[in-house]
Amino acid sequence: MFERDYRDMAAGLLMAATGGFVAIYASTQYNLGTFRNMGPGMFPMLAGSVLVFLGGLLAVTAFFRAGPMPKIRISTPIFILASIAAFALLIRNFGMLPAVLAVTLIASLAELKMRPVSLVLLAAGLCLMTWLIFPLGLGLNIPMLRWPF
């Protein structure tokens, strides 16, 4: 057992750094406008500021509590990155639904205890939500299923 929760401290500092970058970039590169007439940089600047606050809060509270020894598995980020790569490779040639299905299946390999029934329900639910949100709800012209052969 560690004296401090270093895992949450690192996560909080990473969140704060990401939020700080987003807030500074948005405030310097985009027009902020006013609160009555918001510009394109207002929301990213506010969202980055909230992320800085929450990340700092997480890091400070983790400094004062003990935490477990973090377990480092190299396969987890590899499966997550592979799922993103599979989405990028599949969406153009096969459509959105096969790409979402591949992301779900490959990313589930990062979990130690994979339950097949939960995985099938998650994949079906994500495919259904993808179809409901993008073509129906937003009216985007993204092909859901494309057969390139």
> Each residue of 49-78: pLDDT tens digit?
999 999 999 999 988 888 777 677 888 899
For the chain, the domains span: 6-63, 75-137
* % of the chain at pLDDT higher than 90: 60
Contacts of 1 (CB under 8 A, 6+ apart): 66, 67, 68, 69
Task: Please list the residues that pair with 38 across neighbouring strands.
Answer: 33
Residue 20 has pLDDT above 70, yes or no: yes
Residue 1 has pLDDT above 60, yes or no: no
Residues 50/56/61/63 CA torsion (nearest 10 deg): 170
DSSP 33: B
Average pLDDT for 5-31 = 93
d(CA 2, CA 16): 23
Please tell me whether residue 56 adopts helix, strand or coil conformation.
helix
Whole-model pTM? 0.62
CB-CB contact of 64 with 74 (8 Å)? no
pLDDT tens digits, one per residue of 92-110:
999 999 999 999 999 999 8
One-letter amino acid identity for 8? D
